[in-house]
Amino acid sequence: MKNNTLASLTWLRLLRFTNQSNQLSNEFLKRFNLTSAQFDVLVQIQVYQPLTQTELAQRVTVTQGGISRMLSRLEKEGYVMRTQEWKQKTISLSSKGTQVLEKAMPEQLDFQTSLFEDSLTKEELKNLYNMLTRLYKNNERKELPPE
């Protein structure tokens, strides 16, 4: 770790925090029979429905193959519906999917909020949000260096 810069150490800390948060969320969301990835997919479907599988894959951190398997499971559980509209299949939440999100969403938001508010002041949280937003927007425009 001698050669790490403050920026690389910060990136590693963010990565570890994200992994830790996801593990805690996975454990927390078991009460709703969901994983954090499934929760994210259901939320994205709820917000942008109807949408295609490709559109959904672009909005979440799941690969195209992974999203296909996850959607099959969510459809089997009765949380989502896939409908064929001419040549295009679209995905929407079922009433069961809507119901599970109505129960899980406020509890998950409270849980995640506590991870931040138990450690940071309101001002620190505001600063962190602004800094992460700036990093995110900068990275949207970033091009990879040539190989």
pTM of this prediction?
Answer: 0.82
Residue percentage of the chain with pLDDT more than 70: 99
In one letter, which amino acid is 98? T
Q: Please list the helix, strand and coil fractions of the chain in percent, rounded to the nearest 5, in that order.
A: 70, 10, 20
Q: Domain 19-140 has what CATH class?
A: mainly alpha
What size, in residues, is the chain?
147
Domain ranges of the chain: 19-140
pLDDT at 35: 92
Closest CA to 17 of 6, 5, 7, 25: 25
Q: Please give the helix or strand (H or E) that residue 92 lies within, else none.
A: strand 88-93
Q: What mean pLDDT is predicted for residues 113-119?
A: 93
pLDDT at 25: 94
User: For 17-62, how does the pLDDT look when each residue is reduced to its tens digit (9 = 90+)?
Assistant: 999 999 999 999 999 999 999 999 999 999 999 998 888 988 887 7
Residue 16 confidence (pLDDT) above 80: yes
Q: What mean pLDDT is predicted for residues 4-26?
A: 92
Alpha-carbon distance 142 to 77, whole Å? 39
User: For 70-95, how does the pLDDT look when each residue is reduced to its tens digit (9 = 90+)?
Assistant: 999 999 999 999 988 778 889 999 99
Residue 2 confidence (pLDDT) above 70: no
Q: Is the dihedral of CA 110, 115, 120, 126 positive or negative?
A: negative
